[in-house]
Structure 1
Amino acid sequence: MRLEWRDLDRYDEAILEVLGTEGRIAVTELARRIGLSKSPVQARLKRLEEGGIIRGYRATLDPIRMGRAHVAFVEVRLSDTREAALQAFNRAVRGVAEIEECHMIASRFDYLLKVRTEDIQAYRRILGETISALPHVASTSTYVAMEAVKEAGV
């Protein structure tokens, strides 16, 4: 059974709020925080996982300490926006490790990419050799981030 946000009650929402910031919390501690016993919390977790609300658990890595401090946002305009071209672009983007996020946009351009690299030289190489060579790319515009004020998962 696939769950939607309408299927959640206040306990489910409380579980998700805690897990959103503390994914490794022990079930007993999670139960204590939301005011239920361990067994119902375990059952709710299983339901949320099987229902697709919780898609997985992961570590939040520090990109700066991992040598990926340079962030650029790239507007991409495609030469062809028919479905086959969009799918080809989407498949290719998923294979580029430096592209952290890719969003189709309703604007004067088609996609917005968030690209992380070691430095501006590495970014220039990825732009010229990889991003520009993705299927149907007609043009790009780059915006370099100077500071991350708020980022997901941080």
Structure 2
Amino acid sequence: MSPIKLDERDIKILATLSREGRLSKSELAKRVNLSATPCWERLRRLEKAGIISGYHAQIELRQIAPHVSVFVMAELENHRASTFQAFEKAIDSYPEITACWALGGGFDYLLQVVTRDIDSYQRLIDDLLQRRAGLARYFTYIVTKPVKQAVLPPLDVLLAAPPKRK
């Protein structure tokens, strides 16, 4: 499948929806300076191409439940493909692991964990170690306060043409 070509209006639609996903059809069209039908044709094209993969509510978790957010740097026992696969399969079974990124460099993975408290986080790690999922070492970083949390990187910056060299 060839990549879809995005123009300024497509980018404006994506940027607007990434900030305010609950806009009505008519309000989105107004915000991107299009009439309703062409705006929604573009939106359907972006969804069909897989560029828009879903719509989500941003929940203010501290308003509804006690929790702790933890980042974990994970290092595996070895770098065999089977170890990576076993680890990725194991962490997929923990809903408290809300994000995981494979890394190049010193550590193998960065995990984001959101759980009720430190005790429940430690039980998760203990369980992961008992499963023998390939985890050799881990380093825990507890979030003390959120400072900035963007839902999506700035599309206008990412998709802008690079400046011409002099």
Normalised by the length of structure 2, the TM-score is 0.83
Tell me if the contact between 1:101 and 1:114 (Cα under 8 Å) persists in the aligned partners: yes
Partner of 2:44: 46
Partner of 2:151: 153
Tell me if the contact between 1:73 and 1:145 (Cα under 8 Å) persists in the aligned partners: yes
* Higher mean displacement: 90-99 or 35-44: 90-99
2:113 to 96, 112, 115: 115
Following superposition of structure 1 onto structure 2, how do residues 69-148 of structure 1 map, counting pairs within 5 Å?
Answer: 69-130=67-128, 133=131, 135-148=133-146
- Structure 1 unaligned blocks of 5 or more: none
Tell me if the contact between 1:2 and 1:50 (Cα under 8 Å) persists in the aligned partners: no
Give CA deviations for 1:67-122 in whole Å, capped at 9, x if unaligned: 25311111111112222221221122122111111011112221111111111122
Which 4+ stretches in 1 moved above 6 angstroms? none
SS in 1 for 2:23: coil
Shift of 1:2: 5.3
Identity among equivalent positions (%) equals 37
Q: 1:53/1:66 Cα in 2 relative to 1: closer, same or farther (>3 Å)?
A: same
Q: 1:38/1:153 Cα in 2 relative to 1: closer, same or farther (>3 Å)?
A: same
- Structure 2 unaligned blocks of 5 or more: 153-166
